[in-house]
Amino acid sequence: MNFSSKLLENAVSEFSRLPGVGQKSALRLVLHLLNQPEQDVTRFSNALIDLKSQIKYCKECHNISDQDQCEICTSLKRDRSLICVVEDTRDVMAIENTDQYGGLYHVLGGLISPMDGVGPSDLSIEALIQRVQKEEVSEIILALSATMEGDTTIFYLYKKIKDLGVKISTIARGIAFGGELEYVDEVTLGRSIVTRIPYERNIA
Ligand SMILES: [Zn+2]
C-alpha cells in the first residue's frame, strides 16, 4: 500500500497487527476514526491506555478485575467450596451468562501446549494448588475446551490435585461441543455444568 501520509501509514500498521484485521480493514477503521470528532478519538485512545495501565488480575482467581480481588471472589453469595477452572476470562463470562453456577473460578491464563511452548509454569496452576490446600474446597470443576491442549491440561491438573482430597469433575462434553467453551450456547453450557461428571469415570 502506498500511503500519502506517514501518520496514516503508522496508524494502519498498528491496527493491522490486531488478530483478524488485514490492511484494507485497518485502513477503513483508521479513516473512520479520522472522520470522528477529536474528543471521540481521545476517548477511544484513553480507553485502551487505561485498560492496559489500570487493569488488575484478581489475587484469588486470576480473573481480569478492576480491584485486587474480583467481584465474584468478594461476593458473600457464592459457594466457596466450588472452584471452576477455566482457560481465560471469556469462559468466566460465558459460564456467568448461563446463571447456572454459583461457585468460584480459577483462571489459568491459557492451556498447556508444548507445541506453542506453554508449560505448566506459564499458567496459574501452582496458585490453584495452593487454593485447594489452604481453603475449604470440596470440588474442582475442570471446564476446559475439548481440544488436545484442553485434555492435556485436564490430565495434568488431575494428577496434581487427585491426592488433595477434593472431588474432581469435568463438564459433560459429549453433547454438541464443537471445541472452544466460549462458542458453546448458554443452554448447552449451563446444562453441562449442572450435569458435570466425576473425572475418574472418564479415564477408567
Ligand atoms: Zn477473583
Residue 138 Cα to ligand 1 middle (Å): 18
What are the pLDDT digits (tens) for 112-124?
A: 999 999 999 999 9
Q: What is the pLDDT of residue 201?
A: 59
Residue 145 binned pLDDT confidence (cut-offs 50, 70, 90):
confident
User: Which residue range(s) make up the domain with 141?
Assistant: 58-203
Say what the pLDDT of residue 204 is. Answer: 46
137 and 37 fall within a common domain: no
Q: Where does the pLDDT of residue 18 fall: very low under 50, low under 70, confident under 90, or very high at 90 and above?
A: very high
How far apart are the CA of 75 and the centre of ligand 1, in A? 9
**Total number of domains in the chain:** 2
**Is the pTM value of this prediction over 0.95?**
no
Ligand 1 centroid–CA 105 distance in Å is 7
Residues 129 and 96 in one domain: yes
| Single-letter amino acid, residue 188 | T
CATH of the domain at 154: 3.40.1360.10
Distance from Cα 33 to the centre of ligand 1, integer Å: 35
Q: 13 in a domain, yes or no?
A: yes
From ligand 1's centre to the CA of 172, what distance in Å? Answer: 24
- Ligand 1 centre to CA of 66 (Å) is 10
187: left (phi over 0), alpha (psi -120 to 50) or beta: alpha
- Per-residue model confidence (pLDDT) at position 177: 41
